[in-house]
Amino acid sequence: MSKTPRFSAWNLFRQGISRSPWPRMWDHHDLESSYDVVIVGGGVHGLATAYYLARNHGITNVAVVEKSYIGSGGSGRNTAIVRSNYLTPEGSRFYDRSVKLYEGLADDLNFNVMFEQRGHMTLAHSDSSLRTMRWRAEVNKLEGIDSSVISPEAIKDLAPFLDITDHPRYPILGALWHPPGGIIRHDAVVWGYARAAHAMGAHIHQETEFTGINVADGKVTGVETTRGPIATETVINCTAGWASLVAAMAGIRLPIVTRPLQAAVTEPVRQFLHPVIVSGSLHTYVSQTARGELVFGASVDPFASYSTRGSLEFTTGLATHVVELMPAIANMRLLRQWAGLCDMTPDFGPIIGPTPVDGFFVDVGWGTYGFKAGPVAGEAVAGMIATGRPGELIAPFGLDRFESGTLTAEKGAAAVGH
Amino acid sequence: MSGYRIDHRPGEVIDRSREVAFDWNGDSYRGYMGDTIVSALTASGVRVFSRSYKYHRPRGILTATYHDPNLMVQVGDDPNVRGGHRRIEDGMQVMPQNAWPSLDFDVKATNRLVGRFLSPGFYYKTFMAPRRLWPAYQMVLSRFAAGGTVDPQTDPGRFDHRYAHPDVLIAGAGPAGMSAAIAAAEAGASVILVEEEPQLGGHLRYGGTEDLTALSDLIDGVHSHDAIEVMTDSVVTGRYDHNWVSVVQRDLPGVSERLVKARVKCLVVAVGTLERPYVFKGNDLPGVMLSTAVRRLINLFAVRPGERAVVLSANSSGDAVVADLERAGVEIAAVIDARTGGSVHEATGAKEVSSVLDSRGNRIEADLLVTATGWTSPTALLNMAGDRPTYVPEAARYVPNDLPEEVLATGGMVGDGSTDLLIAHGAATGTEAARRALTVKAFWQSVAPAGRRIEMPKATPAGVPELDHEPHPEMFRSSTHGIVDFSEDVTSKDLISAAKEGYDSLELAKRYTTVGMGPVQGKVEAVNALAIHGEATGSSLLESVTTTWRPPYAPVRLGTLAGRKYEPVRYSSIQPWHEARGAKRLVAGQWIRPDHYGDPSGEVRAVREKVGIIDVSPIGKIDLRGRDVTRLLELVYVNKWSKLDVGRVRYGIMCAEDGVILDDGVTGRLGENHYMMSTTSGGAGTVWNWLDEWLQTGHPEWDVKLTAVTDGYASINVAGPQSRELVRRLTDIDLDPDVFPYMGVHTGTVAGIDDCFVWRIGFTGELSYEIHIPSFHGLQVWEALLEAGEDLGVRPFGVEAQRILRLEKGHFIVGQDTDGLSQGFGFGVDWAIKLDKPDFVGKPELDWQAERNDHPHLVAIQTEDPRLVPVESCQIVATDGAIQGRITSSRMSPTLGRSICLGQVDPELARAGQLIQIRLPNGKSAPARVLTDHAHYDPEGARVRG
Amino acid sequence: MLVILCPHCGPRNSDEFTFQGEVRPRPDVNGTDPGEWRRYLYLRENLADWVSERWFHVSGCRRYLMLERHTVTNEIRDVELVGGEQA
Amino acid sequence: MTRREPASVAELALTDLSLTPKWRAFAGYEAVGPGTSQRTKDGLVWSVTPGEWTVLGDRPDGAVDLTHVRAMFRLSGAAAATLINRVCALDLGDGMFPDGAAARTLFAGVVTEIVREDENGTPSYLLLPSSSFSTYILDVILDAGGEFGLAE
């Protein structure tokens, strides 16, 4: 394992002078015959879990098994929005911890993840959505989260391109304003966790596909991969859209339906939009990157699928809605569209914790919220593996809640993914 | 016009009789009709059109097409316009982009000096400490944003959409595409032929005499077929599942652009090839051009691209360009033949090429370096169709591999050959495309209308002849390093160092270096990037990799994707009256409703003291007929229906299988086997589908006929102590309470309109009659009521007054006072839930809810301070800060002169007189008390029954 | 936009239909227990393969259909009406 | 160059026939299958789903009155199909939707019944959206029809 140097302006300068290449971010390893913990899925959840297992609990004999390249799933396909203004106390508390971790992540990982806290604005076009915004704001305040309902005038000041004049169908009546929310460089988060986890001893196996989980007397004994078997007593499923398929290997059925979530980006233009804008009724959210591109997202596709090919209707519907919000951008050009796979649950809450199979844990069901939860999920799952029980933050999100009928109430606020 | 314009060329597309005046960078220029921005400027001696993204190096023509990364300009308020494609118009204002403060002087060009420190992803490695400076760093980084500008005042322009159903759609109208179109049409198929350029012909347009002759024959052939619809200056932007194909049409009168959405039975991809740049030191200097760019400038626009040229040639296009240059009077300084091992080492010059150093060490003075080093197939449409093109080393390019049945490819992207061979291959492909398309068409026609089951047929695709590949040397990078991605300023060195840092999967390298992420999406550079990445990793040979192209193939305006603004909106037949009286508009789903007429409190008082009328037409109405209607009602409602007599209505609640409240409303029995169900206005569609679902999937044998008649009736609620008197004056229906009691329904004539039905219900808490009138007559009855009730003090009231009235009465609204987790018990209607019924939707969950008995309760709440109205959604908080419930509805009651609320609270708080604390938005707490009954007003209900 | 060959209406765009997905048999409401009932409500196979799923032609003939669709390619190979002869 | 799209002022005519009596019958017209229409003794009858027929004319026994439930517009002329395909995805080609064909589909996002009833050789379509949408649908037709010289 190569020594990982610190990144800094000074080292960047030295590197520039010497022209010597930077050492590798992570190395290739042979597949060991056994690991203490095997994590399925090399996205932000899996890699963060590996990182916190090592950093917080000294557990370093860990393999992260990724069927493609790291961050090839939802982690590299989301719209990189971070926020904590959720509807329920448990949801707000949970995501607030994630925001805190994101705020310190560049220092923790010595890798600039470019977290820009530009503020997050959710527009309300009807009395009922305004009521939901207030509901979220009031719950958020009780959790100490900066969140409030603002007027159309305040909206115009924060985002001058928004058309707040009287729309026949979608008047802008107000918005939920959440200053700590913002955008981040999603790939950097993946690479930063991978580099740090690797530096502390975790093995990252890319291009290695999971083919089976061996269970004996209700206990995990090992796993099968395209590069050979691994003996282990602990397997963590962090595979989002593919969660049902991996769980089925252990004989577990989940309350999950996989749906594509599409996103798109325009050509760059000069900066004109600072905050992240979300409209639930118009099923759209938009932000402008530092490069000048507008990044768009919408709600999940109308039917279940494992396809990431994307649809024309996503782009036409999206354009209709963003042009309704900002008529002046009609001449901007949509450059590229793509899709990720979301593991949707009936109550829009995650499923995180143990399963009926001893040693098989899930960190799935994130639906459209997975990326923003990466750090806290990694921290909490690592804690659960180390201590043997789910901590307070994740207790409400167990798999057993579906059988006991105690669903989470996030349902109420889940009109749109972000 | 300057000396760069040469004599007439046989294939030129400019109209020398029509000069066009336009501005570039603040100065005025002239060109000819048919010129592109760039051809006109080149004719006037302009060489630099932009500055590069990262190092701000001057950039000139590379490909002279839509896909040229160096020719992005701002036209008026239109950013990122392709200067190599957009034709000039009189008065056009063209400005350079990404060149602040000017094309010539450029402070950020100092980046070139520090370029060695701007290694790929440098920003990930710095700007971290001290953290407080990060916001400042953000400002710096965002200054680097490339591209044009958008203006808040921009007029969005006019765009529209069109659906099309061609048998065959052909992308690309070069020789192969055109002959495919002709052959398909001759085989009886309807064809849409799409060409990205303004003219048909592809490379034939800038070819020699033979090419031009072949072209005119093909054009005649295409025009001779009415079954061929031609779309020039149009581009196929995407191929989606089930051959759903998007085309952007640009050359239209009336609209800026049109999006064509085509269900194509067979798609033919004939987009030819793009010429590939060569990577070497200085390869991005203005004056370094591709051979096809030069051939376009000379043969289409009669423009001389330089004075003294060096040509690096690896193929026939390189040979042809030499001839073209000579004809254009350009001195040929040297021809370096790559087929015999020649290559270019370096191009040097300050702001443009001044000399070229070849691989043999000769330095040649020249202001033009033309490269012809290979072709790239733009395989985007094939990738979107699920193909993974394979690399053919002999031809040094990718070719189609495994296409689905409904997609074919022809022309240059399949192989090489003489014009005749390409035309022959196109024809064979067109014939096969027609055959496949017509098989599908025949099957689709046989389907409608059909039986109960369909199995898709398995077609038997016939093959299409192969097209050979001319041998071509593999040329990607010289022995020196240069620019690979011109849009993103990514060098071959960057790609190599990224791979060494660990980004050794191609996708990681792309994301890290941003190669291929720019506005031209690496169309011309992609294969160079693959080759150089392979060179760095030593592993991935081109054979083993391919890159995924995501739609759209070419960028599309948001306005084009949006099309015209069509948002379905619904109006009651009485809405014109509301508008005329200045009613405040309320958006309720698709409906536009009157919120109030200026004085909601006054409207409330009118109802309480005299009589008011409200337009409730959006209320869902479903006509149910048949012997088994009662069984259906028993199944979908939680309450009982067996004993409902004709002429009576009953309030009912529907829950879903998880026990959560779905909808509520009254259903009346109009005849032995005839019922009328009402739903909430928002729930009308859901409930209609819900009934159909339970019938079709659960009880197809039941005799029930459903007809949604919401729009068939205008609905007017007449409420207040005087409502009986008012309605009496207009109807033949006997309103005597003994004949027409509370919760009764009768049909008859109202204000001269037959076939109305009227039911007596009390959402407002007052004596009230809901009149349902055949909708085209709604306005007439509305006006009759106002006229007849004038002396009674009748007043129209809106949704806001109705909300207050029902809140005073304590009636909940599904979706406001209930939420996504609200099961049936706890909302004051427990009496309606009949767990002793054998079966109904959601029964088990409601059974268990009753057992657990730990559910929240909806209660009426009054604040201790009667003037304080806690805004809806305020939380009810325990002293320890725990949430115990929330306010779901709140208003100031004009009737009681105090604030009133409904709220959900934990069961232990659902006790009359219970003191609770409401947390206000300002953080203060407001004490309040729980009431005995839901009703703040007339709890006994004497008034409704009056 | 998929094309669904409705037995009554012929080839139609999928935006005329609403997707219901996997359907699980409804347990006997009087004999069931929470475990069985909530498996019926919430658990899904969610296969990446050929699946049989329910769609509703809400903007066309308003009939419920069973489709055989591949959830990776979205290819549809079979369409059948729900509800016996009444349909 | 869109030569297959006819477009000229003379080629389009729009009539509002919303007040025409319309009925929903559940029996009596079994000869009229889904997707087709027929002139019967009672008037024009069509079906878009099994067991349900729409009748223009006198009230058949046990029929539900649809007169006020649906608006009805007639769009006639060579450009009619072109205009409809601006906002409606239905394949109106003679092969898929000949004279006499009937369908229920989406028109500018609204569920609409469409019946083709040519008038002595000229393509002609009846459009029946729900009546609360008629103002909107009329706006759409006039807006999209502007290109073909259609105006109020």
Amino acid of residue D27:
A
Pick C8's closest partner by Cβ from D34, D96, D111. Answer: D34
Measuring CA to CA, which residue among B385, B158, B163, B382 is closest to residue B259?
B163
- List pLDDT tens digits, range C64-85: 999 999 999 999 999 999 875 4
Q: Is B365 helix (H, G, I), strand (E, B) or coil?
A: strand
Return the CA Rg of chain A: 21
Percent of chain B with pLDDT over 90: 81
CA distance A390 to D114: 59
CA distance A95 to B225: 63
Instruction: For residue A158, name the pLDDT band (cuts at 50, 70, 90).
Output: very high
Look at the block and give the residue holding tokens 């002959």: B179
List residues bridging with B409 in a β-sheet.
B269
Question: Which chains reach chain B with 3 or more Cβ–Cβ distances below 8 angstroms?
Answer: A, C, D
* Interface contact flag, C10 B447, Cβ < 8 Å: yes
Residues B291, B293, B294, B299: is their CA dihedral positive or negative? positive
CA distance A405 to C38: 8
Identify the closest residue of chain A to B123 by CA–CA distance: A112
* Interface contact flag, B774 D109, Cβ < 8 Å: no
Direct distance between the N- and C-terminal alpha carbons of chain D, in angstroms, rounded to an integer: 28
CA distance A105 to A418: 22
Measuring CA to CA, which residue among D137, D146, D144 is closest to residue D114?
D137
Q: How many CB pairs lie under 8 A apart between chains B and D?
A: 117
Residue A217 exposed, middle or buried by CB count within 10 Å (0-12, 13-18, 19+):
exposed
Of A229 and B158, the one with more pLDDT: A229
Q: Is B571 helix (H, G, I), strand (E, B) or coil?
A: coil
CA distance A385 to A36: 10
Q: Does D116 lie at the interface with C, CB-CB under 8 angstroms? A: no
Residues B437, B442, B448, B454: is their CA dihedral positive or negative? negative
| CB neighbours of residue D136 within 10 Å | 20
* Interface contact flag, B150 A116, Cβ < 8 Å: no
Direct distance between the N- and C-terminal alpha carbons of chain B, in angstroms, rounded to an integer: 92
Chain D residues in contact with B444 by the CB 8 A cut-off are 96
Identify the closest residue of chain B to C39 by CA–CA distance: B658
Backbone φ/ψ region at B941: left (φ over 0), alpha (ψ -120 to 50), beta: left
Residue A223 exposed, middle or buried by CB count within 10 Å (0-12, 13-18, 19+):
buried
Indicate whether D140 pLDDT > 60.
yes
Q: How far apart, in Å, are the Cα atoms of B695 and each of A325, B700, C63?
A: 41, 5, 11
Peptide bond just before B101 cis, omega within 30 deg: yes
Q: What is the mean pLDDT of residues B323-343?
A: 96
Look at the block and give the residue holding tokens 């040297």: B334
Chain C nearest-CA distance from A373, in A, is: 23
Indicate whether D1 pLDDT > 50.
no
Indicate whether D5 pLDDT > 60.
no
For residues B480 and B532, is the Cβ–Cβ distance under 8 A?
Answer: no
Measuring CA to CA, which residue among B941, B259, B235, B280 is closest to residue B651?
B941
Contacts with C, A 399-418, CB within 8 Å = 402-405
Please give the angle made by the CA atoms of B689, B693 and B694, to the nearest 5 degrees.
Answer: 125
Assigned token pair, A352: 């995180």
Please give the angle made by the CA atoms of A190, A194 and A198, to the nearest 5 degrees.
Answer: 175
Pick B569's closest partner by Cβ from A149, A168, A409. Answer: A168
For A242-311, where are the alpha helices, taking DSSP H only? 243-249
Query: What would the DSSP string read from start to end of B747-781?
Result: EEEETTEEEEEEEE--TTSS-EEEEEEEGGGHHHH
Chain B residues in contact with C2 by the CB 8 A cut-off are 241-242, 244
* Interface contact flag, D50 C87, Cβ < 8 Å: yes
Chain C residues in contact with D34 by the CB 8 A cut-off are 8-9, 61
Pick C19's closest partner by Cβ from A254, A302, A307. Answer: A302
Assigned token pair, B718: 């007449």
Residues 6+ apart with CB under 8 A from B422: B174, B175, B176, B179, B410, B411, B412, B467
pLDDT of residue A248: 98
Q: Does B819 lie at the interface with A, CB-CB under 8 angstroms? A: yes
Residues 6+ apart with CB under 8 A from A104: none
Indicate whether B110 pLDDT > 70.
no
Indicate whether B136 pLDDT > 90.
no
Amino acid of residue B466:
E
CA distance B939 to B933: 7
Percent of chain A with pLDDT over 90: 86
Assigned token pair, B798: 């809106």
pLDDT of residue C2: 97
Helices B799-809, B600-609: inter-axial angle, 10-degree rounding: 50
CA distance B869 to B40: 69
Of A412 and B579, the one with more pLDDT: B579
pLDDT of residue A230: 98
Indicate whether B420 pLDDT > 50.
yes
Residues 6+ apart with CB under 8 A from D121: none
CA distance C51 to B343: 57
CA distance B572 to B712: 10
pLDDT of residue B47: 94
pLDDT of residue A411: 59
Chain B residues in contact with C77 by the CB 8 A cut-off are 455-456
Q: What is the mean pLDDT of residues B738-766?
A: 96
How are the residues of chain C apportioned to helix, strand and coil, as percentages rounded to the nearest 5? 15, 35, 45
Residue A117, phi then psi, degrees to nearest 5: -85, 75
Measuring CA to CA, which residue among B329, B288, B328, B327 is closest to residue B311?
B288
Question: Range with the lowest mean pLDDT among A31-35, B183-187, B529-533?
Answer: B529-533
Measuring CA to CA, which residue among B275, B305, B300 is closest to residue B205?
B300
Instruction: For residue C21, name the pLDDT band (cuts at 50, 70, 90).
Output: very high
Direct distance between the N- and C-terminal alpha carbons of chain C, in angstroms, rounded to an integer: 26
pLDDT of residue B3: 76
Residue in D46, D49, D92, D111 to test binding to C, most C beta-carbons within 10 Å = D49
Strand-strand pairing, B915-919 and A351-354: unpaired
Mean pLDDT, chain C, whole residue set: 93
Instruction: For residue D2, name the pLDDT band (cuts at 50, 70, 90).
Output: very low
Assigned token pair, B276: 């590939």
Chain C nearest-CA distance from A407, in A, is: 11
Q: Does D27 lie at the interface with C, CB-CB under 8 angstroms? A: no
Pick A405's closest partner by Cβ from C21, C38, C47. Answer: C38
Residue in C9, C15, C57, C62 to test binding to D, most D beta-carbons within 10 Å = C9
Mean pLDDT, chain B, whole residue set: 92
Instruction: For residue D150, name the pLDDT band (cuts at 50, 70, 90).
Output: confident
| Helix/strand number for chain C, H first, E second | 1, 6
Strand-strand pairing, A235-237 and A37-40: parallel
Chain D nearest-CA distance from C9, in A, is: 6
Chain C nearest-CA distance from D148, in A, is: 27
CA distance A213 to B417: 54
* Interface contact flag, B163 D4, Cβ < 8 Å: no
Instruction: For residue D4, name the pLDDT band (cuts at 50, 70, 90).
Output: very low
Q: Does B246 lie at the interface with A, CB-CB under 8 angstroms? A: yes
For residues B850 and B835, is the Cβ–Cβ distance under 8 A?
Answer: yes
Chain C residues in contact with B449 by the CB 8 A cut-off are 7-10
Q: How many CB pairs lie under 8 A apart between chains C and D?
A: 42
Chain B nearest-CA distance from D90, in A, is: 8
For residues A412 and A135, is the Cβ–Cβ distance under 8 A?
Answer: yes
Residues 6+ apart with CB under 8 A from B643: none
For residues B79 and B145, is the Cβ–Cβ distance under 8 A?
Answer: no
CA distance D127 to D112: 7
Chain D nearest-CA distance from C15, in A, is: 9
Residue B17 exposed, middle or buried by CB count within 10 Å (0-12, 13-18, 19+):
exposed
Q: Does C30 lie at the interface with B, CB-CB under 8 angstroms? A: yes
For residues A182 and A118, is the Cβ–Cβ distance under 8 A?
Answer: yes
Indicate whether A203 pLDDT > 50.
yes
Indicate whether A416 pLDDT > 50.
no
Instruction: For residue B946, name the pLDDT band (cuts at 50, 70, 90).
Output: confident
Interface of chain C toward chain A, CB-CB under 8 angstroms = 1, 14-15, 18-19, 21-22, 34-35, 38-39, 41-48, 53, 71-74
Amino acid of residue D71:
A
CA distance B573 to B758: 18
Q: What is the mean pLDDT of residues B682-703?
A: 96
Measuring CA to CA, which residue among B226, B231, B206, B239 is closest to residue B323?
B206
Indicate whether B102 pLDDT > 90.
no
Measuring CA to CA, which residue among B241, B170, B187, B183 is closest to residue B404?
B241
For residues A271 and B145, is the Cβ–Cβ distance under 8 A?
Answer: yes
Indicate whether B781 pLDDT > 90.
yes
pLDDT of residue A16: 67
List residues bridging with B433 in a β-sheet.
none
Q: Does C59 lie at the interface with D, CB-CB under 8 angstroms? A: yes
Q: Does C62 lie at the interface with D, CB-CB under 8 angstroms? A: yes
Helix (H) or strand (E) holding A343: strand A333-344
pLDDT of residue D8: 45
Q: Is B832 helix (H, G, I), strand (E, B) or coil?
A: helix
Indicate whether B71 pLDDT > 80.
yes
DSSP B52: -
